[in-house]
A and B are shown apart, each in its own frame.
Chain A
Amino acid sequence: MPVPLLVPALLAVGFLVLPLVGLVVRAPWPEIGAQLARPGVGEALRLSLVSATLATLLSLLLGVPLAWVLARSQVRGRSLLRALVTVPLVLPPVVGGVALFLVLGRQGIVGRWLFEATGFSLPFTTAAVVVAETFVAMPFLVISVEGALRAADARFEDAAATLGADRWTTFRRVTLPLVAPGVAAGAVLCWARALGEFGATITFAGNFPGTTQTMPLAVYLTLQRDPEAAIVLSLVLLAVSLATLLLLRGRWLGRGAVG
Chain B
Amino acid sequence: MSLAAHVVVRRGALTLDVELAVADGEVLAVLGPNGAGKSTLLRVLAGLLAPDGGRVVVDGDRVWDDAGRHVPAHQRSLGMVFQDHLLFPHLSVADNVAFGLRTRGARRADARATAEGWLDRVGLAGLGDRRPGQLSGGQAQRAALARALVGDPRLLLLDEPLSALDARTRLTVRAELHRHLGDYAGSAVLVTHDPVDAMALADRVLVVEDGRVVQAGTPAEVARRPRTDYVARLVGLVLLAGTGTGTTVALDGGSAVAVAAQVHGPVFVAVRPESVALYLSRPEGSPRNVWPLRLVTATPHGPVVRCDLAGEVALTADVTATSFAELGLAPGAQVWASVKASEVAVYPR
B-contacting 9-mer, from A155-163, A218-226, A227-235:
A155-163
B90 at the interface (CB under 8 A from A): yes
Interface residues of B in 76-120 (CB under 8 A from A): 78-80, 82, 86, 88-91, 99-100, 103-104
Are B90 and A162 in contact, CB atoms less than 8 angstroms apart? no
Give the docked Cα–Cα distance between A207 and B151 (Å).
61
Which of A18-26, A34-42, A84-92, A164-172 makes up part of the contact surface? A164-172
Which of B46, B74, B88, B157 is close to A164, meaning CB atoms less than 8 Å apart?
B74
Distance, CA A250 to CA B90, complexed state (A)? 19
- B86–A165 touching, CB < 8 Å: no
Within 8 A of A (CB), among B137-174: 147-148, 151, 157
Shortest CB distance B269–A (Å): 43
Do A159 and B82 touch (CB < 8 A)?
yes
**Max chain B C-beta neighbours (<10 A), residue from A161, A164, A180:** A164
Are B86 and A155 in contact (CB-based, < 8 A)? yes
Tell me the chain A residues, 147-201 only, with Cβ under 8 Å from chain B: 153, 155-156, 158-166, 169-170, 173-174, 177-178, 180
* A259-B72 contact in complex given A163-B99, A163-B103, C-beta closer than 8 Å: no
Decide: B78 and A169 in contact? CB cutoff 8 A.
Answer: no
Q: Does B344 contact A (CB under 8 A)?
A: no
> Is A178 within 8 A of B151, CB to CB?
no
Is there contact, CB below 8 Å, between A161 and B86? no
Does the CB pair A164–B86 fall under 8 Å?
A: no
A153 CA to B147 CA, complexed, in Å: 19
Q: Mark B25-51, 1 if CB is under 8 A from A, else 0.
A: 000000000000000000100111000
Contact residues in A for B86 (Cβ distance below 8 Å): 153, 155-156, 158-159
Count class of interface residues, chain B: 20 to 34
| Docked complex Cα distance between A87 and B187 (Å) | 52
Interface residues on A, range: 20 to 34
In the complex, A173→B95 CA distance in Å? Answer: 11
Known: A177-B90, A178-B89, A259-B89. A162 touches B73 (CB 8 A): yes
With a cutoff of 8 Å between Cβ atoms, the chain B residues found around residue A155 in the complex are: 82, 86
Question: Is the Cβ of B48 less than 8 Å from the Cβ of A162?
Answer: yes
B89 touches A164 (CB 8 A): no
Complex contacts, A169 vs chain B, CB 8 Å: 74, 103
Across the interface, do A164 and B48 meet the contact criterion of CB distance under 8 Å?
A: no
- Further pairs besides A164-B75, A164-B151: 14, Cβ < 8 Å: A158-B46, A158-B80, A160-B88, A160-B99, A160-B103, A161-B72, A162-B46, A162-B148, A163-B151, A166-B103, A169-B103, A170-B74, A177-B88, A177-B91
Question: Interface on B for A, CB 8 Å cutoff?
Answer: 43, 46-48, 72-75, 78-80, 82, 86, 88-91, 99-100, 103-104, 147-148, 151, 157
**Can you name 10 A-B pairs with beta carbons within 8 Å?**
A158-B48, A158-B80, A159-B86, A162-B148, A162-B157, A164-B74, A169-B103, A173-B99, A177-B88, A180-B90
Interface residues of A (CB under 8 A from B): 153, 155-156, 158-166, 169-170, 173-174, 177-178, 180, 259
